[in-house]
Structure 1
Amino acid sequence: MSDKIKITSSHWVLVIALLASAYTCYLLVEPYINSIVMAFIISLLMFPIHDWIEQRIPTHRNIAALVSCVVLTFIIVVPLLFVFAAIVQQGSTFSQNVYQWVTHGGIQTIFEHPWVVKGLSIVNTYLPFDSVTPQEIAQRIAKFATSFGSNLVGFSAQILGDATSFLMAFFLMLFVLFFLLRDREKIITAIRHILPLSRSQEDKLLDEIEQVSKSAVMGSFLTAIAQGIAGGIGMWLAGFPGLFWGTMMGFASFIPVVGTALIWIPAAAYLFLTGDTTWAIFLTVWSVAVVGSIDNLLRPLLMQGSAGMNTLMIFFSLLGGLHLFGLMGLIYGPLIFAITMVLFNLYEEEFQDFLDRQDQN
């Protein structure tokens, strides 16, 4: 009996020491955790391409992993450089056009619209604000247009100034990705060996992590890209800089509830108030029917099938993930929810007899 107590105590000491060491290791890699997680996610997405490359050179695993990393670099970095340059150019041109439009009396045309006159009258009469005059609004819009251009240039300079940090994070991700692609089977075998679960439970847990990781990227980022492309086409047809506002709509799609409406509603209102009623109606219909349907259909479709997560759970996992982790929360949130659901399912299977007896009592 004493030997049994001694062994149990030593086991507890080992587990506590292991947990403390693991937490310390986490603190060491915590500044780089996003790069590590992204390398893990991208390795899941890149593995079919890597597997095809590895089949061509089966005896050179290092070279195959290196080629996969180079391919990924060209797929991501080169297009981003061209898109970024075009966004800055279109954004600067747009801000200059807005400033000229405001200073040449374009804003006065909007203020003379009957709906705007009535709206300002209601604001000044019933709402507890100071009197709002068209002149004050025009000055603020002109100031915004001027500052928008300078802020865009400053933002671009900041991005260029932070290029070192970005490149460090990117190459760190590539470094981790290289080993994840090269040693994928060894890593999975080591994880299976360490987990104190049965093989079927390990399969279920690892498969769910892989599935949710892919669906989080597909559901969030691909939906944002699709909405950005569709929104950019609509804005371009309506006369706005398509690439710039399409990119803005792509970023806005990450905002829960509001989404791309943050961009297209002011644009449609501007077209309506300036007399382009046909294009205002077109942009509204296009944004609701095309851009909105992408979010309502594509995102749930890509993110369904994860541990029984329904649309409501997906919504709160994205909302909570954004609140706690920022943009990376779009991956972390669904992943945490899905792993929790899998653990609940494993718990239900493991204690099924006990739970059935509890239901009968």
Structure 2
Amino acid sequence: MDQQDKTTLRHFKVTAIPFVAIFSLILVLSYMVAVPLASPLAWAALFSFFMHPLYSLLSERLFRGRFRNIAAALVTGAILLLIVIPGVFAGTMLAREVLRNYGRILDLMVEFSGSLDVADLKAFLPQWLASRIGPLGDYVDFLRDNLQQAGGWTASRLAALSRAFAQNVFGLVWQLVVITVASFFMTRDGHLIVEYIEAVLPLSEEERLAVMNRARKLLRAVVYGITFTAAIQAVLGATGWAFAGLPTPMLFGILMFLFAMIPFVGTPLVLVPGSLYLLATGETRTGLLLLVWSLGVVSTVDNFIRPLFISEGSGAHILIVFIGVIGGLAAWGFLGIFLGPLVISLFVFFLDSYRRILEIQRRQEAERPAAARK
């Protein structure tokens, strides 16, 4: 260490308290500035990571390391055309379908609450099922009241969310602008951001590389594996839904895409009730075909498709991924499907790093001579 470095360290020790105070104040102010942009910036980071292979192809192979601005602009345009605009369109379609079916749901609920009794239920169901529901007569009122309350709450919540989505046009445009600008710079300079994060991590070089590799593998598994697999399952499920003659395949296809991203949930949460509805209304052959299609094709296709998109395992336990997805959904909405597993996995990794450091210290303490410990 030369004299200038020693002087810098000595000066830092003298001014440590004022530096920490000023840095803390700036940190709080920066947090207040960044919080309103957190969601679009996170989406921009995910989109840039998703399209990074295309940027590498354009920048390194086609342009030979030159015209990085042009390559980033082309990738940003591809993000808008292939991801953002179709996503906004799908959300708008979902909101419109929910609003269009809201009145139908309410009408069915009113009819259900006003006329349900055991005789009506037996007349509605197939003969083989109607002969077995006699003992349920005492529970019809209880089931009706609870189902009505649950259905009313669900329908009202969906309608409120759909109206908010459809009315918040300015917010959508504002977020779209932020995502566009941020995607350009994150695509072009993403490697610099990653290098800076690696440099400021208070870990050894080996552990810094391990952290970044863990994050990269997990993001690859979530973004590529889960997203592509869920999209293919949703297309297959919506095709079967439309073939069975069930209404609004676009709406239920979007729901299948969302549910397919959640571990242990998947498309059967939508397709199986649709199959049971067909069986209950006498469409036995169509209902069985949809049930076989749901459980035999749509639900198992991920076993063949997901390995094609994930070249390396994420290294995360399935319970960690499950907690991350469910907790992320509760904390950040749809964005949490991607961020939740990453945050929880990195937390466990840092905790494991701390455990290894403690084990090294304890082992060194045990290896020290008894006289030295005294």
> Is residue 2:182 matched to residue 1:169?
no
Candidates 219, 222, 228, aligned match of 1:222: 228
Residue aligned with 1:54, SS: helix
Give the gaps of 5 or more residues in structure 2: 1-8, 112-119, 369-374
Match of 1:305 among 302, 307, 313: 313
CA drift at 1:248: 2.4
Return the TM-score normalized by structure 1.
0.75
Change (3 A) 1:156 1:330: closer
Give the C-alpha shift of residue 244 in structure 1.
Answer: 3.4
Q: In 2 relative to 1, CA 220–11 (structure 1 residues): closer, same or farther, beyond 3 Å? A: farther
Cα displacement (A) at 1:274: 2.3
Q: How far off is 1:33 after superposition?
A: 0.6
Q: TM-score, normalised by structure 2?
A: 0.73
C-alpha distance in 1 between matches for 2:25 and 2:306: 39
Please name the residue that 2:135 is paired with.
Answer: 122
Q: Tell me which amino acid in the other structure corresponds to 1:26.
A: Y
State the distance in 2 between where 1:287 and 1:12 align.
63
Q: What per-residue deviation string (whole Å, max 9, x for no partner) do you get for residues 157-185 of structure 1?
A: 65443232112112201211111122234
**What aligned pairs does 1:228-267 form with structure 2 within 5 A after superposition?**
228-241=234-247, 242-254=249-261, 257-267=264-274
Structure 1 residue runs of 5 or longer lacking an equivalent are: none
**Displacement of 1:16:** 5.2
**Residue 43 of structure 1 corresponds to which residue in structure 2?**
48
| 2:28 is equivalent to residue 34 of structure 1 | no
1:131 deviates by 8.9
AA partner of residue 325 (structure 2): L
Aligned to 1:111: 124
Q: Which moved more, 1:21-30 or 1:85-94?
A: 85-94
Checking the alignment, whether the CA contact within 8 Å between 1:235 and 1:283 is kept in structure 2 is: yes
The percent identity for this pair of structures is 23
Q: How many angstroms does 1:202 deviate by? A: 2.3
Aligned-partner Cα distance in 1 for 2:44–2:330: 22
Q: Secondary structure at the match of 2:141?
A: coil
The answer to whether the 8 A contact 2:201-2:208 is kept is yes
Q: Do the aligned residues in 2 keep the contact of 1:124 with 1:132 (CA within 8 Å)?
A: no
Question: RMSD of the alignment, in Å?
Answer: 4.3
Deviation of 1:6 after TM superposition, in Å, equals: 8.8
SS state at 2:300 partner: helix
- Partner residue in 2 for 1:22: 27
* 1:28 to 1:291, Cα distance in 2 relative to 1, 3 A: same
Q: What is the letter of the counterpart of residue 275 of structure 1?
A: G
